[in-house]
Chain A
Amino acid sequence: MNEIKHHLTDKILLGYAAGTLPEAFSLVVATHISMCDECRARLGAFDAIGGTLLESSDDLMDGNMPAVDFDATLERIEAGSGDEEAEKSAPIEAPESASTLPVALQNYIGGDLDAVKWRPVGMGVRQAILKTSRSASVRLLHIPAGTAVPDHGHHGTEMTIVLQGAFRDEFDRFGPGDVEIATEDLEHTPVAEEGVDCICLAATDAPLKFNGLLQRIAQPFLKI
């Protein structure tokens, strides 16, 4: 495991544990946790809060606990219903090679990095939007080594995880596994480091606003 310096915040982990984080952000969270045991353990703690709340959910029902049909449940088991669900949420096997993407992310790409359908967005930068629910959007970004990501500010919140290479902005450096959380007030110029091209996964709950005129014109066509 490489050394990760920038982790998920408690607020993000709580939202993921509670199940209220938009799908696009959850994908960034799942990708980071696949790479980071520290945040996996922190998530375990937030899940444990959910466990204590479930255990005491009878306190919230004023003594009227709802009944659940036991026999109907047995029929479900015998009919094999729930198989599909078990299949779907079975633990995903981690890839043996460390160079591949987490399976959590591969499920959204439909394969590894070589399966990504990149589209150019100018200045050598390429992107691929991944399909999630509409409450927020998430895309892969491919930034050639040494290239600046177009100067941009943010509406809402943007959460980015580095998958390959690294980028720097005026404040910090972000390498593989590192998560950057940018809010409205952050106006920065990320630059991909020299060496390996930088590949990131970025979720946002609002369209990016590019400051350059060209980008502003292009934006409606880029679906970002």
Chain B
Amino acid sequence: MLTGALLNEKPDAMPGLAPHGVQPEGKRKGFQRRKVPADVNTDTHWVEIVARIRQSQDQAAFAELFQHFAPRVKAFLIKSGADAGMAEECAQDVMATLWRKAHLFDPSRASVATWIFTIARNRRIDMLRKERRPEPDELTWGPAPEPDAADVMELQQENNRLAEAMAELPEKQRVLIQKAYFGDLSHSEIAEQTGLPLGTIKSRIRLALERLRHVMK
């Protein structure tokens, strides 16, 4: 299911210089092509982009989100065993869903990349395994309260720390986790993972949940 590439050493890709596989051409009115400078590819930037899509249906913002994430979603699906046609179909569908679901994104509880991952994962279960995905009940009913800016920033910092810590994991463990998340290990093959740097980001999300509960009271 998985090509050997995942098991090889990390290719010497230069972050920011890797060729982007997609250049939205913006044939259509309103959708402008937009070059994304590498130094703004931080989560803070993506949170603003999603806010622009949510607040004003900003099509340029969507084009930018697409340019960065659509190829990554497709790569994720290909690595998960989807053939090219299905990965394309599914990636388009995920991106269309992002446009429609922008109002449901809560930046105090997840990064934009995490949010997109969960949508892509659910589509993968739907398309590749033809299964339903039972999702936990959401906490909010009615309009979601505006997330606290400090909460959003602290979550972003935790996400950066998590990404750094993941990069520092032993190669063997990192490959195993990749295989697990790309669906290349059945659940029974997944070993109990020790030493995953999850404690601090969990505490951060827990605080955001508590605040949400408080607001809902």
A binds B: yes
Binding site for B on A (CB under 8 A): 9-11, 14-15, 17-23, 25-27, 29-31, 33-34, 37-38, 40-74, 76-77, 81-83, 85-86, 89-96, 102-105, 107-108, 132-133, 205
> What are 25 A-B contacts defined by CB distance under 8 Å?
A19-B124, A37-B206, A37-B209, A40-B209, A45-B199, A49-B162, A49-B196, A50-B181, A53-B178, A53-B182, A54-B69, A54-B116, A54-B117, A55-B163, A60-B5, A64-B21, A65-B18, A65-B71, A66-B78, A70-B22, A81-B93, A86-B97, A91-B137, A102-B137, A104-B134
Given A44-B202, A68-B95, check contact A30 B135 (CB 8 Å): yes
Contact of B121 among A19, A30, A42, A62 (CB under 8 A): A19
Find chain B residues with CB under 8 A from A62 CB: 5, 11, 13
Docked-complex contact B210 and A37, CB < 8 angstroms? yes
Contact of A51 among B92, B113, B132, B135 (CB under 8 A): B113
Interface footprint category on B: 35 or more
Binding site for A on B (CB under 8 A): 5-6, 10-11, 13, 18-22, 24-28, 31, 63, 66, 69-76, 78-79, 84, 87-88, 91-93, 95-97, 99-101, 104, 109-111, 113-125, 129-141, 158-159, 162-163, 166, 177-178, 180-183, 185-188, 190-193, 196, 198-199, 201-203, 205-206, 209-210, 213
Find chain A residues with CB under 8 A from B193 CB: 10-11, 14
Find chain B residues with CB under 8 A from A85 CB: 93, 96-97, 123
Give bound CA distance, A40 to B208, whole Å.
Answer: 11
